[in-house]
Amino acid sequence: MVKPVSLEGATLLQVIPDLAAGGAERTVIEVCEAVVSAGGRAIVASAGGRLETELTETGAVLVRNESLPSKTPVTIRRNVGWLKALIQREHVDLIHARSRAPAWSAYWAAKSTRTPFVTTYHGAYNAKSSFKRWYNSVMARGDIVIANSTYIAAHIAQTYPDATARIVTIPRGVDLEAIHPDNISSNRTEMLQQQWFGDACPDRPLILLPGRLTAWKGQQDAISAMAIRRDRGADVLGTLVLAGDDQGRSGYLEALKAQITSLKLDESVSIVGHCSDMGAAYKLCDIVLAPSREPEAFGRVAAEAGAMGRPVIAAAHGGQLEIVDDKLTGRLVAPGQPGEIADMIDDILKLDASQLSALSQAARERIASRFSKASLQAATLNVYARLLERGH
């Protein structure tokens, strides 16, 4: 256990492009909650978005800057001055950056004001050129560099060896109260089912794939898996639910719809858009898919599914290897292999009630012991306290 710390009188600034949706954005809110609970003052610099109400409900202050998502050099330079003024005006004691473009602005503002600088390395960023490797390097320039999985810690150390001594691994956490089967009312699941399907009764099992609509999240592989199962005569096909925003990727959304139609799966696959009640979504479904084609830095979907006690079928790479214990708490499949996804769906559907109960209990215990929100919050506050005590 990480002992609780006090941040009485300290002002902590987190910088993130927007608050639309996603694991990094959710973690910002969770850390704000912890900072305020520890007596500190939490500020977030961001363009704002869907999650900003949740942010302000923690007691944090949102300072809006619509240009923070911009990657243009001129804007990044301009935001150095903007952040420097914010640090001085609000007497910021520590700045925590969570995305590359605004992290460059935050890095130079922190150096200019001699403010402790923390980064969280939220993804295994592609570095196909020397420029891209340099651009990504800002996330390894923190006085402390937080890795959100052992996989990411190893990736940072391999890519930026000079950062190795500054890496602290803090896995993302699941809110074990919000994502718990006993805490989701039947009214919530009924409302969500009505929202998704209207008065129609969807065929069971419900197979949920949450995540923004982008090719690397594996939606196309999941759709193909449904076609494979149908073509080989699955006893029960069920309904695949794709829950997530296209975030402006209208071309990909149309490609998914075309794939569904061409495979004659219009009655078996539903694209439902953003889901604001993921607790109800996990409880409503029977199986969760996390078939990402590229490695997840952590794998929040797999962790949340486990916390709800739902069987998860996850791609066997990245942070998901740390979350899913193959056969015990879920199933692991090779990335980009619809046939394996189909096999594992059918494998799970063959489990009897006692086997499903054992899997559910093992999954909940694994997540509670390793990936709780409380552990994330305590460990992050401990990092802040260490830097503040150091008087960096």
Please state, in angstroms and rounded to a whole number, the distance separating the CA atoms of residues 355 and 288.
17
Q: Are strands 94-97 and 144-147 parallel, antiparallel or unpaired?
A: unpaired
Please state, in angstroms and rounded to a whole number, the distance separating the CA atoms of residues 23 and 30.
11
The two domains 11-173+372-390 and 181-370 share their CATH topology (first three levels equal): yes
Q: What pLDDT, in 10s, does the model give residues 172-217?
A: 999 999 999 999 999 999 999 999 999 888 889 999 999 999 999 9
Q: What is the pLDDT of residue 1?
A: 40
Q: Among candidates 14, 299, 44, which has minimal Cα distance to 152?
A: 299
CB atoms within 10 A of CB 87: 24
Please state, in angstroms and rounded to a whole number, the distance separating the CA atoms of residues 228 and 221.
10
The gap from C-alpha 291 to its chain's centroid, in whole angstroms, comes to 14
Residue 149 has pLDDT above 60, yes or no: yes
Can you point out the beta strands (E) in the chain? 11-15, 41-46, 61-64, 94-97, 117-121, 144-147, 167-169, 206-210, 239-243, 269-273, 287-290, 312-315, 330-333
Please state, in angstroms and rounded to a whole number, the distance separating the CA atoms of residues 361 and 170.
24
Alpha carbon separation from 192 to 186, 247, 303 (Å, rounded): 10, 21, 21
Confidence band of 391 (pLDDT split at 50, 70, 90) = low
Fold for the domain defined by 11-173+372-390: Rossmann fold (3.40.50)
Q: What pLDDT, in 10s, does the model give residues 234-288?
A: 989 999 999 999 888 889 999 999 999 999 999 999 999 999 999 999 999 999 9
Q: What pLDDT, in 10s, does the model give residues 293-323?
A: 999 999 999 999 999 999 999 999 999 999 9
* First-residue to last-residue Cα distance in the chain: 26
Please state, in angstroms and rounded to a whole number, the distance separating the CA atoms of residues 314 and 60.
34
User: To 5 degrees, how large is the angle CA 329–CA 331–CA 335?
Assistant: 140
Calculate helix-pair angle for 73-90, 100-113, nearest 10 degrees.
50
Mean of pLDDT values over 11-17? 98
Out of 3.40.50.2300, 2.40.50.100, 3.40.50.2000, 3.30.1360.120, the CATH code matching 181-370 is 3.40.50.2000
User: Residue 334 corresponds to which amino acid?
Assistant: A
Confidence band of 3 (pLDDT split at 50, 70, 90) = low
3-state per-residue secondary structure call for 157-171 = HHHCHHHHHHEEECC
Both tokens of 207, joined, read 């197979």
Query: What is the pLDDT of the chain when averaged over all its residues?
Result: 95
Q: Where are the domains of the chain?
A: 11-173+372-390, 181-370
Q: What pLDDT, in 10s, does the model give residues 354-363?
A: 999 999 999 9
Please state, in angstroms and rounded to a whole number, the distance separating the CA atoms of residues 261 and 174.
36
